[in-house]
Amino acid sequence: MTILFHKELGKIEGECHNGVVQYRGIKYASLKHRFGPPELHTRCEKPAVVDATKVGPAAIGNPTGCELELELIQQHLIVPHLPPQSDTECLNLTVTAPGNPGSTQLPVFVFIHGGGLAMGSGTWPQYDHSAIVRRSIEIGRPIIGVNINYRTGIFGFLTSEELRSAGFKANNGLRDQKAAFQWVRKFISGFNGDPENITAIGQSAGGVSATLLLQSEEPLFDRMVVMSGTCLALRPEPTTLHEKFYEQVCEIHGLTNLSGDQRLEALDKINSHELLAKIPPSVPSLPAIDNEFIHDVTTYETVKDWQNRSDPALPGLRWCRELLIGDCQFDGSIYQLALGFRKADIGKQLEQSLNVNVPEHEVEIDKLVGAYGISAADNDEIAYLRVLEFINDVLFYVPTVTVSNVWPGTVYVYHLNEPNPWEGPFKGQATHILDVALLFKNFDHTLDEGTRAVGEAFGDATICFINATSPWKASSAHEPIAFIFGGEAKPGKLVEDIPAHTGRRETLIQYDSSIGFDTLRAAAVAFLSGR
């Protein structure tokens, strides 16, 4: 155990292990209501010494979410005892720092976990920052890591005119994240962190969140790492659509015939897990265009304005100086959750769905489906994999390349091609969430020397970036380059960022001019939703 004397927060007891100290379960914001706005927590109450040796409660979500994500990674870890989830006591964080930090303030990174904005927690063992902080000490570039919890699912993203009129604003989950960054700016110096040197790291829905936080006028971080997820994939939707989601929630819980006040009271009193358990997939967790926190939907057309820092809805282009962005070669593996039970005639399903949702491009759609080899697949299993490749390119690869191409500041691009080494349906492919598994080094004990070297190279490069040091040569419109991690390039190499050199497909890119990426993205989402 170790005691930190924090000037503003008082005495905080943390736990030290192998040269790294963790302060867990620190409250960064308070909630007066499960749907209410976060209120920045600026002091620690009595006792005289705050016990920060145990993780805090996670937000309400899938109670087996951690195990589910480990199944997707295809490797298990020992899951420690976690406290019960909470709808109002979930806004807490963990600070991981060198045990002997020295006198110089250290660079800080704040990790925003994924989970489709529907589940997740920074307390899950696959996200533990101990190993990456320890590695930063070993290579002489010490850093501090911050893991945050934020509201997900309906508690993070349900909104309606009724809720907003009662003072319950939209985009709670994103507001929580913003509050966490505000807390870090205000208090991290007491942990020997540099409040003027903060990196946001977002993976999957966390990457979506990081890019959406750029809509904040207030500077929240100085650079960001976006891993397999951008606001071009999981987009904010108009409040009119959210109104329909709200109506569904009320109907499911038998609240339709109540008055507005009675509905709000019922939504507050229904058991949180019961409230969540009845929510169908037709009520997704999506940010809302509320014209307060989020002002506009991000499309392939609107991001063109990023290049000249001219998008008025994106002030973060002025205060976020650098971007490190990349994808995994088979991020599409995550959509096994939506498509794994739809394998029968899945190729035909996709073709029919695309033709229904994009009827004006029937000829081009037929060519596109053929180009992915979906219509020619010998069986449903092969067709399933090719459909996932199509989804991969629409929702991960093309958005990654697009954002990197229009980013007005310094940008570093990577592509992770290291095969998943563990037994499972996608062994041998660079699957979604493999980036986190390698970055945070919590699975190193299960890896062979080659894969461990890839993870080390990826982690060391990220540590350099957090330290405001170039991990490799920056990309530009005149010279698009990317670093390939793993695959045939162990541990990695710098290449021209074109499909022929990065192990990516150029198939979808060829259809932008005829069909358009926004149209293809909307059609892919419709297919995933069963339409």
In this prediction, residues 292-315 reach a mean pLDDT of 85
Contact 397, 327 (CB under 8 A): yes
Strand-pairing partners, residue 244, are none
* Res 39: pLDDT: 97
* Res 47: pLDDT: 66
Q: How many angstroms separate the Cα of 306 from the Cα of each of 27, 202, 314, 498?
A: 35, 20, 8, 22
Same domain, 118 and 70: yes
Query: Maximum CA pair distance of the chain?
Result: 71
* Res 513: pLDDT: 85
Number of domains in the chain: 2
Which stretch of DSSP H or E encloses residue 23? strand 20-27
Q: What are the pLDDT digits (tens) for 400-425?
A: 999 999 999 999 999 999 999 999 99
Examine the pLDDT at 254 and tell me if it is beyond 80: yes
- Tell me whether strands 39-40 and 29-30 are parallel, antiparallel or unpaired: antiparallel
Lowest-confidence pick of 216-225, 274-283, 393-402:
274-283
Q: What's the chain's Rg over C-alpha atoms?
A: 22
- Tell me whether strands 489-496 and 481-486 are parallel, antiparallel or unpaired: antiparallel
Same domain, 314 and 344: no
pLDDT band of residue 48 (cuts 50, 70, 90) is confident
* Res 102: pLDDT: 82
Same domain, 214 and 346: no
Distance between CA atoms of residues 237 and 164, nearest Å: 16
- 303, 320, 337 - which closes a domain: 320
Q: Strand (E) positions, 378-527?
A: 410-416, 481-486, 489-496
Q: Give the CA angle between residues 39, 126, 138 to the nearest 5°.
A: 100
- 445 φ, ψ (degrees, to nearest 5): -70, -10
Percentage of the chain surpassing pLDDT 90? Answer: 90
Examine the pLDDT at 242 and tell me if it is beyond 80: yes
Same domain, 427 and 284: no
* Res 507: pLDDT: 94
Q: Strand (E) positions, 41-149?
A: 49-51, 92-98, 106-112, 144-148
* Res 523: pLDDT: 96
Q: Is 39 helix (H, G, I), strand (E, B) or coil?
A: strand
Contact 303, 402 (CB under 8 A): yes
- Using the 8-state DSSP alphabet, how is residue 513 labeled? T
Helix 346-357 / helix 380-392 crossing angle, nearest 10 deg: 40
Strand-pairing partners, residue 226, are 202, 325
Same domain, 282 and 256: yes
Contact 23, 5 (CB under 8 A): no
Contact 350, 252 (CB under 8 A): no
Average pLDDT, the chain: 95
**Concatenated DSSP letters of 99-125:** SS--SSPEEEEEEE--STTTS--TTSG
- Using the 8-state DSSP alphabet, how is residue 38 labeled? P
The region that residue 486 occupies, defined by phi over 0 for left and psi between -120 and 50 for alpha, beta otherwise, is left
Strand-pairing partners, residue 224, are 200, 323
Helix, strand, coil in percent for the chain, rounding step 5: 40, 20, 40
Contact 234, 156 (CB under 8 A): no
Same domain, 248 and 376: no
Distance between CA atoms of residues 222 and 70, nearest Å: 31
- 151 φ, ψ (degrees, to nearest 5): -70, 140
Same domain, 204 and 275: yes
Examine the pLDDT at 395 and tell me if it is beyond 90: yes
Residue with tokens 């029968």: 344
- 278, 303, 320 - which closes a domain: 320
- Here the tokens at position 306 are 């990023």
Same domain, 306 and 385: no
Examine the pLDDT at 515 and tell me if it is beyond 90: yes
Q: What are the pLDDT digits (tens) for 493-504?
A: 999 999 999 999
Distance between CA atoms of residues 393 and 372, nearest Å: 11
Same domain, 312 and 429: no
Strand-pairing partners, residue 181, are none
* Res 307: pLDDT: 84
Distance between CA atoms of residues 121 and 113, nearest Å: 7
- Here the tokens at position 226 are 């976006």
Per the structure, the complete domain to which residue 308 belongs is given by 2-320
Which stretch of DSSP H or E encloses residue 226? strand 223-227
Q: What are the pLDDT digits (tens) for 305-335?
A: 888 777 676 899 999 999 999 999 999 999 9
Distance between CA atoms of residues 98 and 16, nearest Å: 9
Q: Give the CA angle between residues 503, 509, 514 to the nearest 5°.
A: 160
In this prediction, residues 19-27 reach a mean pLDDT of 97
* Res 486: pLDDT: 97
- 288, 320, 352 - which closes a domain: 320
Examine the pLDDT at 44 and tell me if it is beyond 70: no
Distance of CA 137 to the CA centre of its chain: 26
Residue with tokens 């349906």: 425
Q: How many angstroms separate the Cα of 157 from the Cα of each of 113, 123, 174, 248?
A: 16, 21, 9, 14
Q: What are the pLDDT digits (tens) for 438-477?
A: 999 999 999 999 999 999 999 999 999 999 999 999 999 8
> Of 507, 505, 503, which is closest to residue 492 (Cα–Cα)?
503
Same domain, 300 and 401: no
Same domain, 377 and 253: no
Same domain, 39 and 94: yes
In this prediction, residues 373-381 reach a mean pLDDT of 89
In this prediction, residues 211-217 reach a mean pLDDT of 96
pLDDT band of residue 238 (cuts 50, 70, 90) is very high
> Of 419, 500, 491, which is closest to residue 454 (Cα–Cα)?
491
**98: preceding bond cis by omega (within 30 degrees):** no
- Here the tokens at position 262 are 């009675």
Distance between CA atoms of residues 219 and 217, nearest Å: 6
* Res 57: pLDDT: 98
* Res 309: pLDDT: 74
CB atoms within 10 A of CB 520: 26
- Here the tokens at position 231 are 């606001």
- Tell me whether strands 288-289 and 237-238 are parallel, antiparallel or unpaired: parallel
Examine the pLDDT at 46 and tell me if it is beyond 70: no
CATH of the domain at 297: 3.40.50.1820
Q: What are the pLDDT digits (tens) for 176-203?
A: 999 999 999 999 999 999 999 999 999 9
